[in-house]
């Protein structure tokens, strides 16, 4: 299958700190890729570069046929193709759940109110929160807020979803809620890249796991690589983290 996301020899520095040191990877349509690694290994930076939240120093990034590294890239087109969900939910406190989701549909996709509401209710149903449409973020648990954030991205009908440590601030029960939504997305064929510390989930659900170390793609494999790491660095990471 042809790649829907391609990174070619990507470098990225913040001042004198070189965070990405020649990262190359490809993601096929419908694949779920889990990216693991220690803090500072470049995982989240790589994800942010894919959505052009950070610009790269050199290399190439292509997503859905769009050259992300092109200085003249159409960011509106890119953001319609790529959804990104962060650890922090970034919901507007003064808007209801439904209104949070409708906002981009009205202003970016220019949908009428009725159509936007129909789409919003559809994605809320998808994440199991249709009954919370009229609630405000402060009335929701962390897991529910994160599911609303996922629904907000899904409402834009992206071809690729990026998840950056979306469960790291949640307790185990709430983490389970969010992971079940992501599991359903994978079963529906959504192309997904997720930065995660949830090793059991990565092993069970990911088509491939990418281990990053010191700004490089260090080891790539199926879930089995977590049982039989090929490099001492991955072995050390797993022993320290589990």
User: How large a percentage of the chain has pLDDT more than 70?
Assistant: 99
Rounded distance between C-alpha atoms, residue 231 and residue 218, angstroms? 8
Rounded distance between C-alpha atoms, residue 152 and residue 103, angstroms? 9
The answer to whether residues 206 and 223 touch, using CB atoms and an 8 Å cutoff, is: yes
pTM for this prediction: 0.91
* Structural domains for the chain: 3-241 (3.40.50.300)
Q: Identify the pLDDT of residue 1.
A: 59
With cut-offs at 50, 70 and 90, classify the pLDDT of residue 70. Answer: very high
Rounded distance between C-alpha atoms, residue 19 and residue 48, angstroms? 12
Per-residue pLDDT at 241 exceeds 80 = no
Q: Identify the pLDDT of residue 144.
A: 93
65 alpha carbon, distance to own chain's centre: 19
Which tens digit of pLDDT belongs to each residue from 89-141?
889 999 999 999 999 899 888 999 999 999 999 999 999 999 999 999 999 99
Which tens digit of pLDDT belongs to each residue from 173-227?
888 888 998 999 998 999 999 999 989 999 999 999 999 999 999 999 999 999 9
Q: Identify the pLDDT of residue 33.
A: 96
With cut-offs at 50, 70 and 90, classify the pLDDT of residue 88. Answer: confident
């Amino acid at each position: 299958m042809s790649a829907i996301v391609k990174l070619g020899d990507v470098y990225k520095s913040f001042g004198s700190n070189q965070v990405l040191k020649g990262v190359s990877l490809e993601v096929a349509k419908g694949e779920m890729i889990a990216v693991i690694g220690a803090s500072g290994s470049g995982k989240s930076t790589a994800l942010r570069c894919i959505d052009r939240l950070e610009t790269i120093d050199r290399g190439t990034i292509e997503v859905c046929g769009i050259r992300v590294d092109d200085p003249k890239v159409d960011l509106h087109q890119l953001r319609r193709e790529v959804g990104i969900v962060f650890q922090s939910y970034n919901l507007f406190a003064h808007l209801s759940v439904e209104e949070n989701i409708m906002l981009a549909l009205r202003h970016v996709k220019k949908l009428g109110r009725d159509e936007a509401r129909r789409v919003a209710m559809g994605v809320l149903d998808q994440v199991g929160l249709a009954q919370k449409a009229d609630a405000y973020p402060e009335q929701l648990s962390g897991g529910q807020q994160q599911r609303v954030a996922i629904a907000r991205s899904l409402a834009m009908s992206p071809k690729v979803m990026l998840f950056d440590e979306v469960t790291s601030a949640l307790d185990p029960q709430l983490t389970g809620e969010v992971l079940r939504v992501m599991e359903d997305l994978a079963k529906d064929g959504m192309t997904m890249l997720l930065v995660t510390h949830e090793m059991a989930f990565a092993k069970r659900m990911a088509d491939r796991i990418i281990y990053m170390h010191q700004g490089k793609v260090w080891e790539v494999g199926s879930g089995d690589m977590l049982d039989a790491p090929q490099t001492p660095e991955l072995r050390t990471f797993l022993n320290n983290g589990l």
